[in-house]
Structure 1
Amino acid sequence: MVMIRRSAPVLAAATLLWWGTPQAVSQQPEPVRYEAECWMDIDGSRATAHCGNPYPVVDRVRLHVECERWWDIDTDGAPVEIHPAGAVSLSERCWKEIRSAWVSHRPRAAD
């Protein structure tokens, strides 16, 4: 009887931990994200993103550049659509150094 009383809190904690994991809470699969594959080249004050779309849906990509200097204006490029099996290169620049650059995606549903 003593063994049951001492192990009951441990058993209860282990059960709560198991039920609190994402696999136990939701068995629904994650939705597939059809985003183009992009890679970035940063050379001094210029950032260039090269994107290719291997998926059967159109992806709208946009290059964002954050400049290092406080007085240098950050840029958000215009969105560009990449059709299936298509590729694009996007380029933006700062006057001086680049702090960070990234690409945002907005996949469009298949027609």
Structure 2
Amino acid sequence: MRLSRRLASTTVAVALVLPVSGAAIAHARVHPAGASPQRGAPAKAGEPFGAACRIRVAGSQVTADCHNPYPRTDSVTLHVECTRWWDLDSDGTAVKAGPAQTVRLSGRCWKEVESAWVSHRKAR
């Protein structure tokens, strides 16, 4: 009886955690820290879009400098995934990078940084 209760509670815990952590891991592997400058999502053909971002990790601090050379405003957000299981991952607030504008985003972990990436959206 005791084994079945443990098995049931473990199964429920794994079922609740897997969908969330699986999506985060898949996204983090696509955008590892220290990667080359990233471009935004592709826009319509012939319409350039997306700020170029440089991400720097120094210990537990993450800084991203994003420059938007295009005429359309890009809304950029910094995402930081921490190495330790108890360290909280963070998603920054969206910052609008207007045409020919450079913005700086920052985030941190308590200990080591696993990965960091910048997401892009067309500002309305």
Q: TM-score, normalised by structure 1?
A: 0.68
Name the structure 1 match of 2:72. 57
Aligned: 1:45 with 2:60: yes
Root-mean-square deviation over aligned CA pairs: 1.3
Distance 1:33 1:54 in 2: 9
Q: 2:48·2:70 contact (CA, 8 Å) conserved in 1? A: no
Correspondence for 2:82 among 67, 77, 83: 67
Q: Which runs of 5+ in 2 are unaligned?
A: 1-43
For structure 1, the 5+ residue unaligned runs are 1-29
- Any runs of at least 4 consecutive aligned residues in structure 1 with deviations exceeding 2 A, and if so which? 30-33
Per-residue deviation at 1:33? 4.8
Identical pairs, percent: 54
Deviation string, structure 1 residues 54-82 (Cα, Å, up to 9, x no partner): 00000000000000000000000000001
Tell me which residue corresponds to 2:49.
Answer: 34
TM-score of the aligned structures, taking structure 2 as reference length: 0.62
Displacement of 1:108 after TM fit?
A: 3.0
Cα pair 2:96 2:123 within 8 Å, conserved: no
CA distance in 2, matches of 1:101, 1:65: 4
